[in-house]
Structure formats: structure tokens, C-alpha cells
Amino acid sequence: DTAVSQTPKYLVTQMGNDKSIKCEQNLGHDTMYWYKQDSKKFLKIMFSYNNKELIINETVPNRFSPKSPDKAHLNLHINSLELGDSAVYFCASSQDRVVWFFGPGTRLTVL
Amino acid sequence: AQSVSQHNHHVILSEAASLELGCNYSYGGTVNLFWYVQYPGQHLQLLLKYFSGDPLVKGIKGFEAEFIKSKFSFNLRKPSVQWSDTAEYFCAVNNNAGNMLTFGGGTRLMVKP
């Protein structure tokens, strides 16, 4: 069974559209994250949720809105997509900040 | 705030050469340290981690890393690389008070057959 899964794996869309990426973890971890990996492979934290509560919100445009319906899911909704949003988005989960699992990534391409 | 620096952005080696990738972090307190590998087109995989105890940690695929507290370093080593080690390598740090992993900029390793 996949520990952290993301859908879709690839997402190609036009500028201005709204899209969502879903993430699920079956590890029972309390904390989930979204990371963005840009074209230079730099990984940067975007959001973190602990038991459905937002605990980290880095300097991310408010077009990005995470939603955690329960502690096993953390979805990312992006409004009015821009070219600069093209990246690979990784979901991750953690338990007590010592065990970390990453999802397979979602490659978003904005045309 | 914590930060991580990886000074080698690109490394090219021949098979059987020895590898050392540098990683330095800035945080004065207790830290947990990690090395991740990302093979082309794939997700991050944990190579090894350090929390406490023996500063020399051994990971998967023959990798090891040494935590030197006085130098704020956690360099990754492998005595003899293989072509299949071609990948991007990320050092990451998490402090006990924080809630996230902070990554270095990554080092792209290319191993020539």
C-alpha cells in the first residue's frame, strides 16, 4: 500500500484556470505538508497541517488554499493559475517530526 | 530560522570514485538531520537520518554521513559510486521546536559509466 499518495500525477492546464491536487496518507500521521519544487529542484515548504489545523503558512500567494477534511487528507486548491505556478508539488506526512514520508509528486504545467 | 546550504550544486564522478557531498546548517539548538535522494522523475527517498548518538550514521545503498556539531555539518559519503547513484541529493534539517523540514538547494550527482 502506498504510504502517501497524490492525484493527479501530471496536471497540464491553461493560465487562469482553477485546479486541485489531492493528497492522502494511510500512516496515521498527525501532520501533513505541501512542498513546492521549482525548476531548479529547490524544495520549499508551503503549508503544514496538524490534526486538520493549519500550523505553517509560508509566503504563499492566497491563490493557494489548502484544505484538510480529516487528518489523513490534505488537498491543495489553486485559483487563477499563473505560469510561475508550474512546478512539482510534493505532499508529505510526519509523525512527531522524526518520521517523514513524501508522496510521488504532482507535476503541474501551466500553459 | 533554520537554513541549510549545499555548496556543491553539480558533481560529476566516474564509477568507483569516492563521493562526499557537503551540507551545512544554521541553527544553534538540537537538530535532526536527513539526507534524501531523488532519482530522475521520482519522489524523495530517505537515505539516512541522524537524531542523536553515534555521529556517524549509515544509510541505505552504502551511503553514510557524519554529523560534526562544531562545524554544523552533516556531509554525505560513499566510498565507491555506481552509475545508478546518478540523482539529486538533498540535505534537510528539522529542529525539535519546529514543525517542518528545511531543505538545502540540492546537489546533482552524475556518475559516468
pLDDT 10s digits, A64-80: 999 999 989 999 999 99
Distance between CA atoms of A56 and B100, rounded to whole angstroms?
8
pLDDT 10s digits, A26-53: 999 989 999 999 988 889 999 888 888 8
Question: Is B27 an 8 Å CB contact of chain A?
Answer: no
Question: Is A9 an 8 Å CB contact of chain B?
Answer: no
Is residue B82 a contact partner of residue B54, using CB atoms and an 8 Å limit? no
A15 exposure class (CB count in 10 Å sphere: 0-12, 13-18, 19+): exposed
Among the listed residues B4, B42, B48, the one whose alpha carbon sits nearest the alpha carbon of residue B24: B4
| Mean pLDDT across A15-29 | 96
DSSP label at B62?
Answer: G
Cβ–Cβ of A97/B98 closer than 8 Å?
yes
What type of residue is B40?
Answer: P
In chain B, residues 28-67 whose CB comes closer than 8 Å to chain A: 32, 34, 36, 38, 42-44, 46, 49, 51
Among the listed residues A4, A15, A12, the one whose alpha carbon sits nearest the alpha carbon of residue A63: A15
Answer yes or no: is pLDDT of A84 > 90.
Answer: yes
Chain B residue closest in CA terms to A31: B99
Is residue B69 a contact partner of residue B86, using CB atoms and an 8 Å limit? no
CA distances from B38 to A10, A33, A71, B89, B95 (A): 17, 18, 26, 6, 23
Set of chain B residues whose Cβ sits within 8 Å of the Cβ of A49 = none
CB nearest A105 (choices: B43, B94, B103): B43
Long-range contacts of B25-28 (CB under 8 A, 24+ apart): B25/B72, B25/B73, B25/B74, B25/B91, B25/B93, B26/B2, B26/B72, B27/B2, B27/B3, B27/B72, B27/B93, B27/B95
Pairing of strands A19-25, B44-50: unpaired
For chain B, 113 residues long, give each residue's pLDDT as a single digit of tens.
778 999 889 999 999 999 999 999 998 778 899 999 999 888 899 999 998 899 999 999 999 999 999 999 999 999 999 999 999 999 999 876 667 888 999 999 999 98
Cβ–Cβ of A42/B102 closer than 8 Å?
no
> Which neighbouring-strand residues pair with A77?
A20, A65
pLDDT of residue A1: 60
Cβ–Cβ of B90/A43 closer than 8 Å?
yes
pLDDT of residue B98: 65
